């Protein structure tokens, strides 16, 4: 429904700290997630700005912990001298994104008659546009029936 598109810049302001077990990564992640408005299918843009703290352990530490039966499923390992940030970023960003993204907080959605985006056209109306409806509007009974269905 919503996510940070591939190739988009994500601003990272991270601090790497050597600790006993490995490397502690902490800092802020900023980016822009793009999704689809659940009401009008328009573009929903969500600014992402969150704090990240992740411990990357040395592989031998992780292995030792596993041998002790002390395995933590969520443990992230250093890959040699490298840190693979992507899974950690994904795990941090995804829960921070709205479950039902909206293009604007009070998105009026789509016109039930023609599917037009009401946000683009707040005064949208069909009574005047369609001569058949204006002819019918004189017949109160028919008009009421139509509105109920």
Binding-site ranges for Zn ion (CB under 5 A): 37, 39-40, 42, 103, 107, 111, 113-114, 116
Task: Output 22 or 35, the one with its CB closest to Zn ion.
Answer: 35
DSSP 88: H
Name the residue among 85, 83, 11 with its Cα closest to residue 48. Answer: 11
Mark 4-39 as b/e (b = at least 16 C-beta within 10 Å). Answer: beeeeeeeeeeeeeeeeebbbbeeebebebebebbb
Q: How far apart are the first and last CA of the chain?
A: 31
Task: Output 55 or 97, the one with its CB closest to Zn ion.
Answer: 97
Task: Output 4 or 37, the one with its CB closest to Zn ion.
Answer: 37
Minimum distance of Zn ion from residue 109's CB (angstroms): 7
Minimum distance of Zn ion from residue 2's CB (angstroms): 12
Minimum distance of Zn ion from residue 125's CB (angstroms): 8
Task: Output 74 or 147, the one with its CB closest to Zn ion.
Answer: 147
């Amino acid at each position: 429904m919503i996510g940070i598109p591939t190739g988009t810049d994500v601003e990272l302001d991270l601090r790497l700290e050597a600790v006993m077990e490995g490397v502690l990564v902490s800092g802020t992640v900023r980016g822009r997630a793009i999704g689809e408005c659940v009401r009008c299918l328009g573009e929903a843009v969500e600014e992402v700005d969150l704090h990240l703290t992740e411990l990357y352990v040395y592989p031998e530490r992780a292995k030792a912990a596993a041998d002790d039966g002390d395995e933590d499923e969520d443990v992230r390992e250093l890959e040699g001298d490298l840190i693979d940030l992507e899974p950690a970023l994904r795990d941090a960003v995804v829960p921070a994104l709205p479950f039902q993204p909206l293009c604007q907080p009070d998105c009026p959605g789509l016109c039930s008659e023609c599917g037009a985006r009401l946000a683009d056209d707040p005064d949208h109306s069909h009574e005047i546009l369609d001569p058949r409806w204006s002819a019918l509007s004189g017949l109160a009974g028919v008009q009421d029936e139509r509105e109920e269905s």
